[in-house]
Amino acid sequence: MSFSRLIVIVFVVLMVPAVVYGHPAPDGFAELTKRLSPAVVNISTSQMIKGEMPRFPEGSAIEKFNDYFGSENRTANSMGSGFVIDPKGIIITNNHVIEDADTVEVTFTDGTVLTANIVGRDPATDLAVLRVFPEQDLPFVSLGNSDEALTGEWVLAIGNPFGLGGSVSAGIISAQNRDISSGNYDQFIQTDAAINRGNSGGPLFNMSGDVIGVNSAILSPSGGSVGVAFSIPSNLVSEIVEQLLTHGFIERGWIGVSVQSVSKAVAQSYGLGIASGALVFSVTVDGPAEKAGIKTGDLIIEFAGKPVENSRVLTALAAKAKPGSIVDVLLIREGKSKTIKVNVDLLKQDSFDVDTGVYDNEAGGTEMVLDMELAVPNAQLRRKYSIRSSVKGLVVLSVREGSDAASKIHIGDVIEQIAWTDVTTVDEAKVRAKAAMAESKRPVLVLINRRGETLRLAIRP
């Protein structure tokens, strides 16, 4: 090989563009930490919990001890993290960090402590927006594009684990779009950066210093970091924060169907080559889907022109749809494709009263059915009673004392069926229970889900 030819080959090789695999591994995190830390804050909350000590009956021999006991109130405190996204005082954190708080205080790296107001919060995605009123502009960070984040890329977490403010940990993105059954809108970024209690609400940074996630949950049998933590992706955060800043609450679309993902075998029976789509197993009475003509057994494969890979995708797409808009729903019914136009309605959910700082659960309301107080399980109820996002039905909030249900039903049980029929709204439950009692004087058969175990019980109203 001639020398001139060798030069040409080397030149050609050098001219080939390098393939970019995300942000390069850094030599260290010191400069990045120095730049970003001032915008990360510690959040502490306090809540007054009223208690009442038992009192002895009047006239009893020990009545005098009532003078030594009385009402006893206590204060519950919690700590978490947050970060500033606007120099005028807008802060993002997790909803569970400030939930039920009477007062919220924000501590900055220079020791400044400011009282925060709650602008709005969204339990469904576990996000909240706070506002403080500083005397001068605050250091802040920007929300990045989480869609550009790559699995295996370096990330940095800064927060307040166990009250140790200003703690920094580093790792990589372990996986993306994780569903951990915490709610209907799970699409978490998984990271092995050390995240512990108190990191909640803090930022997950990429190597450019942009926030690509809000640290929200850990998976741990011990309660400490085992290298499996989850962050809410920044693109979802941007959508939620924009609505909370504009309205103080979240508007979500609703079409009134309960769906489930399908296996490859089921998808093939509908003529699909891969496991895709959302199978309708229940349609809300008088809901938008029923009015449009969607039926149980339909397999929805597109919503508003976007592919529906699974039930979670459909839930997210429907939630993003503007209430009052008309969308095309492409589905498969009896082996044939069919497009149906659906008028999207407003999802009734937890609404936040900015003036009172109180949430009002409007998710279908609650009502006594078969001596059980039933409600649609929102994100808060799912967390409280450990109800997986895949479980459909109505959660039991209370039972009438002395009733037959009281001896059989537990608080937190999910009623999936009444008299062999799926129920996903309180109105459906009322209609089905009334019909079942009219048909026969026998006890009404209900299917319940109790922490993953399904049981059939006969309830005599």
Question: Is residue 436 within 8 Å of 444, Cβ to Cβ?
Answer: yes
Residue type, 281: F
pLDDT of the residue at 137: 96
Active site residue 126: yes
23 is catalytic: no
Q: Which CATH class is domain 253-346?
A: mainly beta
226 alpha carbon, distance to own chain's centre: 22
Find the helix or strand (DSSP H, E) in which 238 lies: helix 234-247
CB 169 within 8 A of CB 36: no
pLDDT tens series, the chain, 461 aa:
554 454 444 444 344 444 445 666 677 899 999 999 999 999 999 877 655 555 555 555 555 555 555 555 556 677 899 999 999 999 999 999 998 888 999 999 999 999 999 999 998 899 999 999 999 999 999 999 999 999 999 999 999 999 898 999 999 999 998 887 666 778 899 999 999 989 999 999 999 999 999 999 888 777 778 889 999 999 999 999 999 998 888 888 999 888 888 889 999 999 998 999 999 988 888 889 999 999 989 999 999 999 999 888 998 899 889 999 999 999 999 889 999 999 999 887 544 343 333 334 434 456 788 989 898 887 667 767 878 777 889 999 888 877 888 888 998 899 999 988 889 888 888 888 888 888 777 889 999 998 778 888 888 88
DSSP labels, 355-370? TTTEEEE-SS--EEET
Which one of the listed residues 44, 78, 96, 225 is annotated catalytic?
96
What pLDDT does 300 receive? 96
| CATH topology agreement for domains 253-346 and 363-459 | yes
State the CATH architecture for 363-459. Answer: Roll (2.30)
CA–CA separation, 394 and 365 (whole Å):
11
Cα separation, 176 vs 189, in Å, equals 5
Q: Say how far apart CA 459 and CA 461 lie, in whole Å.
A: 6
* Residue from 122, 126, 404, 413 carrying the catalytic annotation: 126
List 182, 200, 216, 225, catalytic entry: 200
Closest CA to 212 of 295, 141, 107, 109: 141
Q: Active site includes 96? A: yes
What pTM did the predictor assign?
0.67
What CATH code is assigned to 146-236?
A: 2.40.10.10
How high is the pLDDT of residue 187?
A: 86
All structural domains of the chain with their residue ranges: 146-236, 253-346, 363-459
Nearest to 175 by CA among 117, 230, 255, 115: 230
What are residue 295's phi and psi, to 5 degrees? Answer: -125, 160
DSSP 372-441: EEEE---HHHHHHHT--TT--SEEEEEE-TTSTGGGTPPTT-EEEEETTEE--SHHHHHHHHHHHHHH-S
Which candidate, 253, 260, 240, places its Cα nearest to that of 348? 253
